[in-house]
Amino acid sequence: MREPVIVESKAHTFYIKKKNIPKGCQQCLKGTKAVLFLNGICQNPRHCWWYCPISEKRKGKKDTYINEIQISSKEQILHELKAINAKGMSITGGDPLFEPNLKKTLEYINFIKENKGKKFHIHLYTNGLNFNEDLAKKLARAGLDEIRFNPSKENWNVIKYALNKGMIVGAEVPVIPEVEYIDDLKKFIFYLNKIGADFINLNEFEYCSPNSQNLKDRNFKLEVGTIASVKNSKKQAIKLVKDMAPKVSIKIHFCTIRAKDYWQMRERYLRRARTIKLPYEQITSDGLLLYAQIEGEKIDIKEFYAILLNEIKIPQNFLSYQEINIKLPITFAMEELLIDLLIQNNLKGYVIEATPFREEKYQQITEKTPIKLFKEEMGLNEN
Ligand code: SF4
């Protein structure tokens, strides 16, 4: 029998050839999946609290977020789904199935299915502590498409309740590079395979500020050249996928930190940027918005706006004029004539790169470079 081939996807995740990856992951990597963070409330289970990557700002708090945006109504979810042209949504926390969260979780699944239609894919993460047959039926009835468990070893058996309810059933767990844990993980994969689960999604073990002290105390190290990968997690994960692939029929997918933190975010930014882009902005390959901004005193800005319109003949719809600044496409700002005019008029010009949001609270200026320097850096100076 031929050995199964392990394939690296273009998003830098790994899977077994011909078995593909779970639908929730496919959408995530394309940036078509929104993340509903229900709230930061969970039972703080012993098996995962010590490596929990939830930020202090969210952990234990009641606030709900859709992607980066904090919301106070269900309708705001629809707004965000539209902004990124989402094809699906994941529900996470906290534990969305912890008793105090249950009503809200079911309500949200129903609401999204009603508004986005049956085909809109919803998957949910749970530690499994509160899971039972009755709950499995309720979730399936509400329209949940996929459920992912990260249970303690003593609680694997609850996964069985989710089977044969019309939902795709799988697990999502980190790859903690310790001999005992990896041995248990192998047993877990065999168990999932035996009961007829569909997949396991393995995550590279993450070193981040909320868990850094606990990981340090347990002697975990950061992989050299990375900012969030625990040393040896990726190596062990790829070995695990290779070892297990010939022995089981379930899908095994390994998601790297690079895919999670960079690729997914980039894809989502690109989709959002395409929806909200204004005529003076252009989209970078990372999904950020790029434009030029002229800054100065109110009176000077007003006069310069007239120059841009009447002398440089920039169409009005390419300009955004506010009291103390004007935004315009960088192609116009690169013109030597415009740079000379800026100096003559005592104004400052910058190239701005920003995250694709309109709300000030979420939009971050990632770079602000003086136009002259930007031209130099891009090799656009004339001589
Ligand atoms: S259940 Fe989730 S949110 Fe709660 S401690 Fe575990 S990993 Fe963190």
* pLDDT tens digits for range 338-371: 999 999 998 999 999 999 999 888 899 999 999 9
Pairing of strands 251-255, 199-204: parallel
If you measure from the C-alpha of residue 21 to the centroid of ligand 1, how many angstroms do you get, rounded to a whole number? 24
Looking at the chain, which residues constitute the CATH 3.20.20 domain(s)? 6-272
Closest C-alpha residue for ligand 1 atom 3: 94
Is the CATH number of domain 6-272 3.40.1800?
A: no
Query: Which tens digit of pLDDT belongs to each residue from 78-114?
Result: 999 999 999 999 999 999 999 999 999 999 999 999 9
Tens digits of pLDDT across the chain (383 residues): 567 889 999 888 999 988 889 999 999 888 899 999 999 999 999 999 999 999 999 999 999 999 999 999 999 999 999 999 999 999 999 999 999 999 999 999 999 999 999 999 999 999 999 999 999 999 999 999 999 999 999 999 999 999 999 999 999 999 999 999 999 999 999 999 999 999 999 999 999 999 999 999 999 999 998 889 999 999 999 999 999 999 999 999 999 998 887 888 888 899 999 999 999 999 999 999 999 999 999 999 999 999 999 988 999 999 999 988 999 999 999 998 999 999 999 899 999 999 999 988 889 999 999 998 998 887 776 55
Q: Closest Cα partner for 366 from 275, 290, 252?
A: 290
Query: Hey, what are 220's tokens?
Result: 């975990």
44 Cα to the center of ligand 1, angstroms = 6
* pLDDT at residue 158, rounded to an integer: 98
Give the ligand 1 atom nearest the CA of 40: 3
User: Whose C-alpha lies nearest to ligand 1, atom 2?
Assistant: 94
Show the tokens assigned to 29. Answer: 């990597």
**Which one of 101, 127, 150 would you pick to mutate in the ligand 1 pocket, going by the greatest count of ligand atoms within 8 A of its CB?**
127
Q: Is the beta carbon of 97 within 6 A of some atom in ligand 1?
A: no
The rounded Å distance from CA 97 to ligand 1 centre is: 12
